[in-house]
Chain A
């Protein structure tokens, strides 16, 4: 069965430092996509970054990068130069392209707190 594991329930980081949020996934399907979403205290889920299983390069979006290690089945999110506004829940998610109609399987999330 497909599964996403986020082993860090909570993380602290000093403002302006970089932080890595861990995510491992489990699937035997060769075609899949990996996502990271941010959920501030307001509750809305915000899409951050995407990595396809066949993508050769690690995805980057501004201060966000996805460290994709396919053999290890990991898709860690790296946030550079943390800001106070980065304090939120972060969810790793996966979709399979083999007929799942696009629904995402989510991990349990990591709560990131940025300290001034």
Chain B
């Protein structure tokens, strides 16, 4: 069964801590994404990557960075966590975009981060 695995389902961190959220996919997908989900705001794109060592900013990249050293792994990094980064974080992956056709994103189960 194909999967996107997020290493931590629940995390509690202190303000100012460095936080790593790890995501691994086993589908040999080129594209990987990090979204943030907040009630009433839907999902918002933080960063995405379309190849190893490549990254692109999404809609809300401030306060976050990413790393993609291997095709299957995409890490989200909060250099200095703040309380307003308390949220659900969703990782997803997909095949490289075709000119048409359903480029379905496959999502992980999510990581719920609380920053105190």
Q: Which residues of A contact B (CB under 8 A)?
A: 4, 9, 31, 33, 35, 37, 42-45, 47, 50, 52, 54, 91, 93, 95, 97, 100-109
Contact = CB atoms under 8 A, between A and B. Distances in A.
Nearest to A59: B102
Nearest to B35: A106
Contacts of A97: 97-100
Chain A interface secondary structure, helix, strand, loop or mixed?
loop
Contacts of B110: 43-44
Contact of B105 (A42, A47, A54): A47
B42 A50 contact: no
A105 B41 CA distance: 12
A49 B50 CA distance: 23
A111 to B, nearest CB: 10
Contacts of B48: 101, 103
Nearest to B94: A102
Contact of A106 (B43, B94, B95, B98): B43
A44 B43 CA distance: 13
B104 A47 contact: yes
Nearest to B109: A44
Given A102-B95, A103-B58, 6 more contacts: A4-B42, A33-B100, A47-B105, A50-B104, A103-B33, A104-B43
